[in-house]
């Protein structure tokens, strides 16, 4: 794939092609692992696929622009990020929900076949650091409805001193676009704090004490799944071949019958 072709191809198309080629490469490697030897044709096909993937990965990496915030301070007591300004980004955690975050570093790809990732520190949680692809980041977007920010509405907000989410109540909107909320302090006293809009989680969203990902399949499980799929494909091919042989035999018998050549009948044994 030429550089000019890549530059003229939309990013979403290149991204789709990259993922497709990568999946094909993994399947090819699995098939070659199961083969007794690697033929020249298979080796050439493998090299061609790797060249395409490398070109696409390089193209995608080169055009990604992400604002990095190195040296983000962490609260020693709560182990949460000390970030009281508006969140610059959101990260799509586990493919489910967007959470405000700060991107602290770019993670180099493992090889030329892979894409770079980004280290995203999720605000309001302890030790919540994710390494994600570019598509899993986006500039922070206000999602709270006016109803959710009305005076007296319940919410969760990141406490500006503890830096963790805590139950709060919306008091009012500030002229600078921030939100004044009240937390429950010592002995039940209410304490008002002004926080950025990105630090407020509306009451209609569930606030988890900690973010946990769904368990993913191990490498052994994925390999077993691929092996099972391969066996199913082999069995399907075997059945198709057997059906074709049986059909060819039936067609031949029909042809012989049409031509008046009936198959010899077996003599009965007495």
What is the predicted pLDDT for the residue at 242? 86
By CB atoms closer than 10 A (0-12, 13-18, 19+), residue 179 is buried
Nearest to 201 by CA among 169, 162, 160, 161: 169
Please say whether the structural domain 153-202 has been given the CATH code 2.30.30: yes
Over residues 174-195, the mean pLDDT reads 90
What is the predicted pLDDT for the residue at 188? 76
What is the predicted pLDDT for the residue at 215? 78
What is the predicted pLDDT for the residue at 211? 94
DSSP state of 150: S
With cut-offs at 50, 70 and 90, classify the pLDDT of residue 159.
very high
Q: Is the pLDDT of residue 266 over 60?
A: no
What is the predicted pLDDT for the residue at 82? 97
Domain boundaries, the chain: 2-63, 73-139, 153-202, 220-247
Q: Is the pLDDT of residue 40 over 70?
A: no
Q: Is the pLDDT of residue 155 over 70?
A: yes
Over residues 152-172, the mean pLDDT reads 96
Please say whether the structural domain 73-139 has been given the CATH code 2.40.50: yes
What is the predicted pLDDT for the residue at 132? 97
Least confident of 61-70, 164-173, 204-213, 220-229: 220-229
Q: Is the pLDDT of residue 169 over 80?
A: yes
Spatial separation of the C-alpha atoms in residues 9 and 59, rounded to whole Å: 10
Angle at Cα 134 formed by Cα 128 and Cα 118, nearest 5°? 45
Q: Is the pLDDT of residue 51 over 80?
A: yes
Spatial separation of the C-alpha atoms in residues 227 and 233, rounded to whole Å: 10
């Amino acid at each position: 794939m030429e550089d000019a072709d890549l530059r003229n191809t939309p990013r979403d198309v290149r991204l789709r092609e990259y993922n497709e080629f990568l999946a094909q490469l993994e399947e090819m490697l699995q098939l070659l692992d199961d083969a007794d030897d690697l033929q020249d044709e298979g080796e050439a096909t493998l090299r061609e696929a790797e060249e395409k993937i490398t070109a696409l990965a390089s193209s995608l990496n080169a055009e990604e622009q992400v604002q990095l915030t190195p040296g983000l301070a962490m609260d020693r007591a709560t182990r949460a990020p000390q970030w009281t300004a508006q969140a610059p980004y959101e990260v799509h955690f586990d493919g489910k929900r967007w959470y405000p975050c700060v991107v602290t570093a770019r993670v180099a790809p493992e090889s030329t076949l892979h894409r770079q990732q980004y280290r995203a520190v999720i605000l309001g949680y302890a030790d919540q650091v994710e390494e994600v692809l570019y598509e899993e980041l986006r500039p922070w977007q206000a999602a709270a409805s006016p109803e959710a920010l009305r005076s007296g509405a319940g919410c969760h907000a990141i406490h500006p001193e503890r830096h963790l989410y805590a139950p709060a109540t919306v008091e009012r909107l500030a002229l600078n676009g921030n939100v004044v909320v009240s937390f429950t302090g010592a002995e039940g006293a209410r304490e008002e704090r002004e926080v950025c809009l990105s630090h407020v989680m509306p009451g209609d969203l569930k606030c988890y004490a900690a973010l946990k990902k769904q368990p993913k399949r191990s490498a052994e499980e994925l390999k077993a799944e691929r092996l099972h799929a391969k066996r199913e494909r082999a069995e399907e091919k075997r059945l198709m071949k057997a059906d074709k042989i049986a059909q060819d035999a039936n067609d031949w018998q029909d042809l012989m019958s049409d031509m008046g050549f009936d198959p010899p009948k077996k003599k009965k044994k007495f």
